[in-house]
Amino acid sequence: MLNHQRLIAEFLELVKIDSPTRKERQIAEILKDRLMDLGMDVSEDQTGTAIGGNCGNVFGYLKGNLPEAPTLLLSAHMDTVAPCLNVEPILEEGIIRSAGATILGADDKSGIVPILEALRVIKEHDISHGNIQVIFSVAEEGGLNGSKNLDQSQLKANFGFVLDSGGAPGRIILEAPGQDRINVTIKGKASHAGIAPEEGLSAIVVAAKAIAKMTTGRLDEETTSNVGTIQGGLATNIVAETVTIACESRSRDINKLERHTAQMSETFRQTAEEMGAKAEIEVRRLYAPFKLSRESQVASLAAEAAQSAGLNPEFAATGGGSDANYYNSYGIPCVVLSTGMQKLHTTEEYIKEEDLFSTTELVLEIIKAAGLRTITKR
C-alpha cells in the first residue's frame, strides 16, 4: 500500500530544507500544510518564544472512527545538528547519504516522513483508526528544549511512539537515561607566570587535579559521565585566574544519577577548597530517565506491530535522551522506535531506502493495532 516513490521523494525534499535548532520555521510551515492536507486540526505552541527560537512545536490531531480505541501519539523532531545547511542528498544503490560536507538529516527526518506517509495510506485506503495526535517538535538536539517547554494542555494521547533512534527498524527503546548538566567555574589568582608564579594560583591546575580524581566515561551499564569542555586562561605568561568546565552525568537509574552528579560536584568543591581556590557550581536537570516494562500496553503494541510489518521486534535500552523522556514525565507512556538511520551526528550519516519503507510499514501497523485496542488507564 505504500507509495515508495512518493516516500523517497519526500525524504529527499525534506533533508534539503535547512532546519538547525531554533530555526525550524521553514520546515514547520511545510509540515503544517501537509498535516492540514491530511485533514488534521493543526496548531503551534509558543515554545519558540520561550527558548529564543523562531518556531514552536507543531501539533496535528486527526479524529478517528473507532471511539473505543486509545488516542495515539506519533512524534519526531524537526531540528538537525550542525553542519546541516545546504544538504545535498545522494541516492546510490539503495543508500541515501549527503555529498559529504554536511550531515544528512535522517535524524530526524527519517521519523517525520514515515509518519506522513502512513497517514496518507490510511486516508487513501480508508483504513479505520482511533484518534491520532502528531507532534513535530523543535529544539530536540542539545537538551530536548522543545518538548521540555511544550504546551502540555494540548496533549491528548493515551500512549505514543517517538521515531528517533538509530539501528534497524523493529528496535524498541524501553529505557533511557536522565541527564544532569554540571557547569563549574574555578576561581584562582592571577600573577605573572615568569616573574612571580608563586603569587598566583592557577584555576586550570585546580580543575585538572579535580578532574583527575573523577571516574568518567562508562561507570556501569546504565550510567555515564563526561567532562565536555574546558575554557580559561588569557596567555602563557599569566597564571590563569578563571576556568569554566562543562560536564554531564547520565543514568537510567535516578538514584545513581543524583549520586554521581553530587560526587562530581563535591570533587570540584573539595579540590578547590584544599588548594585555596573557589568553585562555583551550577547543576541543571535537563531531563529525567524513563523505564517501561515489556508488558506495558505501548511496548506490547509496538512488538505486535513490528511482527505484522515483517520485522524482528527487539527491546532495548539506550544511553541517549529523546522527546520520549518528557512525554513519559507528562504521563504519556512512550517508547522510542529505531528508523534505520546510521552514523548520526556525523557527515557520514546515511540511511537505506528499505529501512525507510520498513519504518513506514511499522507506523502503519501501529495505527492499525492501536485501533483494535481499548482505552486503558495510563
Q: If 0-12 CB within 10 Å is exposed, 13-18 middle and 19+ buried, where does residue 228 land?
A: exposed
The catalytic position among 140, 222, 323, 361 is 140
Q: Is 164 known to be catalytic?
A: no
Q: Grid coordinates standing for 101?
A: 560536507
173 strand-pairing partners: 316, 336
Q: Grid coordinates standing for 12?
A: 529527499
- Contact criterion met (CB below 8 Å) for 152 and 327: no
The catalytic position among 45, 79, 117, 304 is 79
Largest CA distance in the chain: 83
Q: Is 79 known to be catalytic?
A: yes
Distance between CA 159 and CA 136 in Å, rounded?
A: 16
E strand residue ranges, the chain: 41-44, 58-62, 72-77, 89-92, 95-98, 132-137, 159-165, 171-176, 178-187, 217-220, 223-232, 242-251, 278-287, 290-291, 314-317, 334-338, 350-352
Active-site residue set: 79, 140
